[in-house]
Structure 1
């Protein structure tokens, strides 16, 4: 990911010279941009998404030909979008112009065109910073044993960083590519252990599941693009998945679902999708003294969690109360579907000396802090965050499906698609597989 081509703001980040566009609108948009001497260079296409990705050349020079009043019209149309000191980018101006001109000339029709957005690892942004956000060494534990049933196991896709090849997780996962395994280094940072922690939290709830690892997040920046995430999701349709767990997300300044992600969610409708609500809660009264609460407003939708096609999971605290201090409330984030434990969960992790790291959102780089810890081999930790709530909830639902002999989709339908007005559903007892109690709490 060429970071010098990324526009970063307090709320959103996107590639400054790339657009995602529906094939139907390529001709119209191309003609308008050609009139401004802005070049459209094809980068990739996805038949499954029905979208193209283009790079725009000479964009800044082209928008200089536009009406000088365009900047103010953009700002007026996006009240609250731009923070103090932020100005519309050349891409913002071009997209507004294309939509405005088309709507005026074609009875309100606007081309299906959007930014290629940047998503971060949920734990990476400073939503639960300070020492409370760091993984801590934990006593060794054993993952629940798999049953001896010969029935097909639920397959759960983990959309995350490359995975650390932890010996206690061997035989429970497969990888989708050669770069899905973490490159082992002496100088390790905490986020390198994120995928194995997420997968192992899910495995504690779903010991009979098989996991497929999709390394969509750059391990050095903890970021991905909406295009890469969406095309990976679409490609996963070949892998016979029952569920995707996505411990990542991104906000949009206008609060709308990104185009590529919306297409991917719609076109993978047969796969249950579970995502972290986000760690942008601001309960300072409930937070430890040394913690940094989020700079992102708690009422900002985090995508993909806010999608109507995705189960959004909020985090409960160590006393089993929702929300944990870092989780938005149900009033702030009405798109939350359920809650699960999210504070001081245990999981598999890296071993040896590990430096704690934080993501500098505005710079888009992982920064090693002066904090570190030693994790005895083979590596166990406790960690907090809605990433792990999503893993917990996803695993619980998958195992419930397996023990009842029904599909994961049927479990999700029963939980989240009942008639309005029904009471919340709580699972407090372990199924016959002997795993820890399933206590995902459903909101209505």
Structure 2
């Protein structure tokens, strides 16, 4: 179904009339589109990604002139990805045609052209997430103060919603963009506190870290495009980051890494990237009554977590002996790199009355519910989800590197990539009032 210029399916969501294209293939693609009377309007260029973004005009009419057997070939090539009632979109047909025609004429060569994907907040959407419960108020607590060391502190980018300027986080963060702070709102909605909660969970593990806030998620729909996410990622190259914590993601119908995101991950290789595995686990027996489960099967890779260049973090249950009910297991998601506590974690939150919200995936809008809670100022809460497990693990890694006097990159390489046959590693970097352990798994 298309809405707000977005095609939304059970597995994937993408802009219905936009493409990204490597300039090397511009001439070939333009010739084929001209033949179909499909226009290309430039929207943006990123030299750091090496990609152009275009809007297509006349797409639906243009693909009507293609081989009538194209639909059947697309469905056959994507077996299992279309659910009952779903059909290939005009953009699906066009991209398949471009690749098929090029491969036939150039000994298998396919142009580098792809969709502009839609990614969503891991907590906020049953499309890529599922219900892991609403935030709940708790008594106030203090963050551990930074050490007295004068060495350069690890710098962690938080790619998420705008940040509520909580007084307890003051002095620990910088703004990556002018609009990185949450504007005043007449009605406070739960998801508006997401970036703050993520940053504070990381700060509880990494009191010596400095955070940089990048508001990539739209405050009303809790979505972002792969282009916006990717250009923000490569834009951080100006900000001397050691790590990014990315608590958002999306799936692809073919299970492959999206082009734009793959480029961004490759071109920020010096920055450690930690991402949430996704709340699409399906352990119904362990879930509270009334849990809303994700429509995504638990063995669906969520990007960027599934990327080979990213540390994918799943959530453990409170006992620490199994995956949380909303987190895919290691058997379901073998791209998991580590697990961390992810249930009822304490963090900083919005003060005052906060209305809980759900994301209506079909409409692409956040709907405020009749559920609410009062959070005494300055705002503290518990919340559950793989977003917060990722924040916990990212903070623990950064703090451990700082304490050892090595770079975050060096420690991450040692833990995850240098010895693939090494047994699982466990270390406890929690604060005295912390939660549990981070368990690294190969």
TM range (shorter): over 0.9
Counterpart in the other structure of 1:393: 393
| CA shift for structure 1 position 418 | 3.0
Partner Cα separation in structure 2 for residue 128 and residue 112 of structure 1:
30
Counterpart in the other structure of 1:102: 102
SS at 2:4's partner residue? helix
Change in 2 beyond 3 A, CA 1:119/1:128: closer
Q: Does residue 353 in structure 1 map to residue 353 in structure 2?
A: yes
Q: Does residue 7 in structure 1 map to residue 11 in structure 2?
A: no
Counterpart in the other structure of 1:441: 439
| CA shift for structure 1 position 420 | 2.6
| CA shift for structure 1 position 421 | 2.2
* Superposed CA offset, 1:39-84 (max 9, x none): 0111111111111111101111111111121111111111011111
Q: Contact 2:155–2:241 at 8 Å: present in 1 too?
A: yes
* Superposed CA offset, 1:3-60 (max 9, x none): 5211111111000010011110010000000011000111111111111111101111
* Superposed CA offset, 1:279-300 (max 9, x none): 0000001111121222110000
* Superposed CA offset, 1:185-225 (max 9, x none): 12111000000000000000001100000000001100000
* Superposed CA offset, 1:78-102 (max 9, x none): 1011111111111001001111111
Question: Number of residues paired by the alignment?
Answer: 440
How large is the RMSD of aligned CA atoms in angstroms? 1.4
Give TM-score scaled by structure 2 length.
0.97
Counting only pairs closer than 5 Å after superposition, residues 18-97 of structure 1 correspond to structure 2 as 18-97=18-97
Counterpart in the other structure of 1:241: 241
Counterpart in the other structure of 1:380: 380
Counterpart in the other structure of 2:332: 332
| CA shift for structure 1 position 422 | 1.3
Counterpart in the other structure of 1:208: 208
Partner Cα separation in structure 2 for residue 255 and residue 196 of structure 1:
31
Counterpart in the other structure of 1:179: 179
| CA shift for structure 1 position 179 | 1.0
| CA shift for structure 1 position 362 | 2.0
Partner Cα separation in structure 1 for residue 323 and residue 429 of structure 2:
22
Which deviates more from structure 2 when the two are superposed, residues 178-187 or residues 343-352? 178-187
Structure 2 residues not aligned, in runs of 5+: none
Give TM-score scaled by structure 1 length.
0.97
| CA shift for structure 1 position 360 | 1.4
Counterpart in the other structure of 2:368: 368
| CA shift for structure 1 position 400 | 0.6
Change in 2 beyond 3 A, CA 1:3/1:217: farther
Counting only pairs closer than 5 Å after superposition, residues 235-314 of structure 1 correspond to structure 2 as 235-314=235-314
Partner Cα separation in structure 2 for residue 254 and residue 264 of structure 1:
20
SS at 1:180's partner residue? coil
Q: Contact 1:118–1:223 at 8 Å: present in 2 too?
A: yes
Structure 1 residues not aligned, in runs of 5+: none
Partner Cα separation in structure 1 for residue 306 and residue 240 of structure 2:
25
Partner Cα separation in structure 1 for residue 49 and residue 430 of structure 2:
39
Change in 2 beyond 3 A, CA 1:37/1:419: same
Partner Cα separation in structure 2 for residue 430 and residue 393 of structure 1:
10
Change in 2 beyond 3 A, CA 1:87/1:356: same
| CA shift for structure 1 position 321 | 2.3
Q: Does residue 122 in structure 1 map to residue 122 in structure 2?
A: yes
Counterpart in the other structure of 2:320: 320
SS at 2:30's partner residue? helix
Partner Cα separation in structure 2 for residue 246 and residue 347 of structure 1:
17
SS at 2:116's partner residue? strand
| CA shift for structure 1 position 380 | 0.4
4+ runs deviating over 4 angstroms: 127-130
| CA shift for structure 1 position 345 | 0.1
SS at 1:399's partner residue? helix
Partner Cα separation in structure 1 for residue 32 and residue 395 of structure 2:
48
